[in-house]
Structure 1
Amino acid sequence: MGKTFIRKKSGYEITLMAEWLGNDLLLNLYGGDTPHIGTVTTFSNDDTQTRRFPSHDGRFHKDDVLASLLLKAIQSKIPGNCVITAGVHVDHISQDQIAASFSMTEELAEELVLWIEEHRLAKKPQYN
């Protein structure tokens, strides 16, 4: 069961795709002129880890900043594990557009919390 959320501000949009895999949550946060997978953030039992991938110019992507905002809002709602891929790139990004990425992510997180609360999976795996 999945859901897609979209926010648009400052001339670009960010999309959040959420998918339940059992009691685990897979999130894909992307947008701008060149969506990509810049970082992967994992969360399990209060342990958070992040992997930043190199960008085209050798620096590392910083999309985990947005993933961290998202995770902070939802981590108490997640019954299992969570993986967040994040990649937002806006060509020649302005300070206003950077600020918009934070507010869009926070708004997407609010929507996601409501969706999680309404669509929480209750089935637990059965073992022999």
Structure 2
Amino acid sequence: MKQFIANAAGYQITAELNRASQDVAIFLTGGDVPHYGVTTVLTATQAPESYRFASRPGHHHEEYVLTERLGKLIQPALQGNCTIIGGVHVNNISREQMKAAYTMVNQLGAEIKQWLLENPVDKPVEMFAQGSHQA
């Protein structure tokens, strides 16, 4: 696991990157109540798509704006699949703190992209059973 941290406007966002072969999973959490409210998936050639869990009756988590932004920032450095799970909640968040979330994600994205470019993984050799494509 590789950890990246950004601080601004009185709170912190952390990105924890886990790797399985050429695939990466990133946990993007922070604020007063870190959680897992959104999942975003993408590849180097597939645009980010997100699933948002319900946060309370009639509402869904909004962190997809952060996870999709992070995905787009690191997309050029991806070698395989990428899953970003995120949840950042700042109690009684101010406009300044909302803007800071974008600044922190931009910082984290630049750092993660650079790390991925500097630490590529060889493509694994995959072998499949004979006839496994048949029903």
Q: TM-score range by the shorter chain?
A: over 0.9
Aligned equivalents of 2:23, 2:83: Cα separation in 1: 8
Secondary structure, counterpart of 2:3 in structure 1: strand
Aligned partner of 2:131 in structure 1 is: none
| Gapped regions of structure 1 (runs ≥ 5) | none
More displaced 10-residue stretch of structure 1: 106-115 or 51-60? 51-60
Aligned equivalents of 1:95, 1:23: Cα separation in 2: 38
Any conservation in 1 of the 2:48–2:71 contact (CA below 8 Å)? no
Aligned partner of 1:109 in structure 2 is: 109
Aligned equivalents of 2:6, 2:48: Cα separation in 1: 26
Any conservation in 1 of the 2:34–2:87 contact (CA below 8 Å)? yes
| Gapped regions of structure 2 (runs ≥ 5) | 129-135
Aligned equivalents of 1:125, 1:46: Cα separation in 2: 23
Secondary structure, counterpart of 2:59 in structure 1: coil
Aligned partner of 1:89 in structure 2 is: 89
Residue 114 of structure 1: how far off its partner (Å): 1.1
More displaced 10-residue stretch of structure 1: 36-45 or 21-30? 36-45
More displaced 10-residue stretch of structure 1: 97-106 or 47-56? 47-56
Aligned partner of 2:76 in structure 1 is: 76
- CA displacement 1:22-75 (0-9 Å, x = unmatched): 110101100000001110001134143210001134410010100111111111
More displaced 10-residue stretch of structure 1: 69-78 or 88-97? 69-78
Residue 76 of structure 1: how far off its partner (Å): 1.7
Indicate yes or no: 2:55 matched with 1:21.
Answer: no
- CA displacement 1:98-122 (0-9 Å, x = unmatched): 0000000000001101110111101
Question: Which is higher, the Rg of structure 1 or of structure 2?
Answer: 2
Aligned residues: 127
CA gap of 1:108–1:47, structure 2 versus 1, over 3 A, is closer
